[in-house]
Amino acid sequence: MKILKKVLTIVFAMIFLLWVVTRIILAVSFERDIGEYLRRAAAASTVQLAKENLDIALKNIESNGLTSGYTSVLSQTLGEDVGFWYKNLKASRSELDEVKTMSFLEKKIALAEVRRTLFGHGVDESVVVFPKGISIHLNNRLFALWGISSGILTLIFWLFWVTHVPSRRKNEKHL
């Protein structure tokens, strides 16, 4: 029985570790395929450069199906609204198409608006704003179930393993 507890603890710990590694890989993948292009669009010094980077980010967003819904499992807060985020990015991109006939100053103002849309008004205005948990958006329920269940089961079996109480028979004295 003691070996079974050890084996189950290790198995559930490995499943939990796989969950952690998968989340990290998906976050890095999102950052590489979308986040970096949004950051580059926000930092662009020309309208054309901002449009090119927004186009790549939007193409990747659409190909990954990140255009609607909420990233949360239990509640639906405004900060987790994927549809609003996507529509806001599309609107920023459309605004950049309208600056062809604008003056230099108007183009700079348009770029500043794109920057404000992408960076938001948070504490750190160099961080691109996107819904929390967006990297697992389409599978957020699965990831919540996976992480919570494997974490709890790992903890339970670890506690059973660590707090092993010897059986009574070994401690009883024979008369």
What are the residue boundaries of the structural domains of the chain, listed by start?
Answer: 2-166
- DSSP helix/strand/coil, 25: helix
Question: Are the CB atoms for 161 and 55 separated by under 8 Å?
Answer: no
77 backbone φψ class: left, alpha, beta (φ>0; ψ -120 to 50)? beta
Lowest mean pLDDT across 23-32, 144-153, 165-174: 165-174
Amino acid found at 94:
S
Q: Cα(143)–Cα(70) distance, rounded to whole angstroms? A: 14
pLDDT tens per residue across span 29-53: 999 999 999 999 998 888 999 999 9
pLDDT of residue 125 exceeding 70: no
Report pLDDT for 119. Answer: 83
pLDDT of residue 143 exceeding 90: no
The angle formed by the CA atoms of residues 142, 18 and 155, to the nearest 5 degrees, is 85
